[in-house]
Amino acid sequence: MTDVDTTIGTLPLDAPLRVAVGATLREVAGLMEDTRTSCVLVGANRGLVTEHDLAGALAAGLGADAPVEQVTTKAPVWATTSTTLLDAITMMVDNGIRHLLVLTAQGEPKGVLSLAVATELLLDLTTPLEMWP
């Protein structure tokens, strides 16, 4: 059973998807749509692009063929597999982010924990409210 002290490395994280630095916004958006994921890693250096970044690119007037690296977060907030669920959620809230890159002890990406998944896990820990008679 998951609790707030569970380390995020033991959670069923999806393997991170990765695109080349030269990928276009269209290619990244298509991949995210096809795989029903909300973020991808860019290149070999752990850059991260989210659906929020793609919306920002559109709002800024970037074309679909613009390189994804124009909107890539080059140094995303990250945690290790030994970080607790509670600490991971605190990191996301404190930094105003919805995706936390999870790295192994060797610094390799293991996955991404989304705030949505973390919230679902927390809700599973709570006792349902009892109905009043």
Per-residue pLDDT reduced to its tens digit, 16-57: 899 999 999 999 999 999 999 999 999 987 799 999 999 999
pLDDT in tens, 69-128: 999 999 999 999 999 999 999 999 999 999 999 999 999 999 999 998 898 888 877 766
Amino acid, single-letter form, for residue 61:
G
Helix (H) or strand (E) holding 25: helix 25-35
Residues pairing with 41 in the sheet: 18, 48
Report pTM: 0.84
Residues pairing with 84 in the sheet: 7
Say whether domain 8-125 belongs to CATH 3.10.580.10.
Answer: yes
Task: Please give the backbone phi and psi of residue 82, each rounded to the nearest 5 degrees, phi first.
Answer: -90, 0
CA distances from 77 to 64, 88, 90, 126 (A): 26, 10, 12, 27
Residue-level pLDDT at 106 = 92
